[in-house]
Amino acid sequence: MTATDWLAVAQRLQALAQVGLAYAPNAFDADRYQEVHALSLQLMASLTDEPVAKLNTLFANEAGYATPKVDVRAVLFRGTEEILMVQEKIDQNRWTLPGGWADVGYTPFEVAMKEAWEETGLETQAVRLLALLDKKRHPHPPQPWYVYKAFVLCEITGGSLQADTPETAGVRWVQRAELRHLPLSTDRVTLSQLEQMLDFAQNPDLPTLCD
């Protein structure tokens, strides 16, 4: 088994432990699920280089039935060869699509528009879902969370590009030919995903991608 396979095992163990702790019928079962939870964090730590204490803090607020986290990315095109990208401050100014975790109380389209506004200064209208991907099926670096990624096509309706925001250090239109030479924030987006998105710019009638 690869490290990715073992990480999937650790994530599944953590999810089972979380569900078990939420619905454990007695103290004996709760103790067992707590041990499974602790073992899953130890395994995650060895695979992600994150300390167990940090992982324990990350999962401390997770309770009830375990479900994937959702990352929403706004996709904006200019013509058929350019896509709007931002530099992520938290990841050494590497490049990604505007976006982030889905917020409770917002629809997926609303999240995409909100993230586009906050990270680029542009007002947008969400048009369609381009892709819903399972993060583990793509070449992202390992992380503790099990994540679905939603890519939402947005059209500009107003605003102006902001070079600096609380989360981003830059924003610009990037041509397809440049993508291979950009330092990407691969935790957030991969080269293959960007190329797939630009395929929609050239052929808007492509069907939605779903893993």
- Sequential pLDDT tens for the chain (211 residues): 788 888 888 888 888 888 888 887 787 788 888 888 888 888 888 888 888 888 777 787 777 777 899 999 999 999 999 999 999 999 999 999 999 999 988 999 999 999 999 999 999 999 999 999 999 999 999 888 889 999 999 999 999 999 899 999 999 999 999 999 999 999 999 999 999 999 999 999 999 999 9
d(CA 127, CA 134): 21
pTM for this prediction? 0.81
